[in-house]
Amino acid sequence: MKLAGKTAIITGGAMGIGRVLAEGLAAEGAHIVIADRADAESAAAEMTAAGYTALGIACDVSSEEETMNMAARTIEAFGSIDVLVNNAGIYSSLTPGPFEAQTAEEWRNILDVNVVGAFLCCKAVVAQMRSQGGGRVINLSSGTPFKGVPYLLHYVASKGAINAITKALAKELGGDGILVNGIAPGFTLSDGVMANPVQLEKLKDISLQARTLQRDQVPADLVGAAVYFASEDSAFVTGQTLVVDGGAYFH
């Protein structure tokens, strides 16, 4: 129960990686806030039925108004914001293809959610974390910017930005006792990915072959890293991005 009495917000927590992270942090005693554009309330109800303490809040992370509401409702319900997991993002719906076929509109949409969304969520919670004397921000990145993966340039660029934000924000918030770290998964068989046959065909086998640990990666493989960064185990660690990909990239 490393997170007993703590409150953790997981954006994009209604399904996929976010849902598994929410359940993993809840299993360590955290009060969970699932913030998602769809199904947040039903996901929280399912977690509550399973014996966890959870609240669902409808939230589009690209909206400053909705992220501020997310923070306010969390404080109202639980009195604190100890952990923010910036998981919401656009990936599983994408089809790999040459960069020149991508449109500026697609780029802006991905950057609005993946990058601006993380910024807005951090902005929404930072005052509360400061008032408490500290907190934890965990940014979900990707192994793709480390490896230079082709045919997903807009997504790779967005996650490269998240890596930079993690470092810069750690410097800016360290004096407030707010630690900022990142988790960079490899190709993970999340709910969304499993529903995208093009991604599975193009990326599943090649990702598996690149790994030192020769098996598929699943969302549960990320829980340990999230608990580590959310707990006192990482009390002297900030500005770091941990690659969790079965040894495909040594970082």
Q: Which of the residues are catalytic?
A: 155
- Cβ burial of 205 (10 Å; 0-12, 13-18, 19+) is exposed
Phi, psi of 26, deg, nearest 5: -65, -40
Count Cβ neighbours within 10 Å for each residue of 111-131 and write b for 16 or more, e otherwise. Answer: bbbbbbbbbbbbebbbebbee
Cα 61–Cα 26–Cα 35 angle in degrees, nearest 5: 15
Helix (H), strand (E) at residue 58 = strand 54-58
CA distance 189 to 146: 20
Q: Which two tokens stand for residue 76?
A: 């109202």
- For the beta carbon of residue 15, count every other beta carbon within 10 angstroms: 18
Q: Tokens 């359940």 appear where?
A: 23
185 and 17 Cβ atoms separated by less than 8 Å: yes
Task: Mark out the alpha helices in the chain (DSSP H runs).
Answer: 16-27, 40-49, 64-78, 104-111, 117-132, 144-147, 153-173, 191-194, 197-199, 205-210, 223-230
Q: Which of 37, 47, 29, 54 is nearest to 117 (CA)?
A: 37
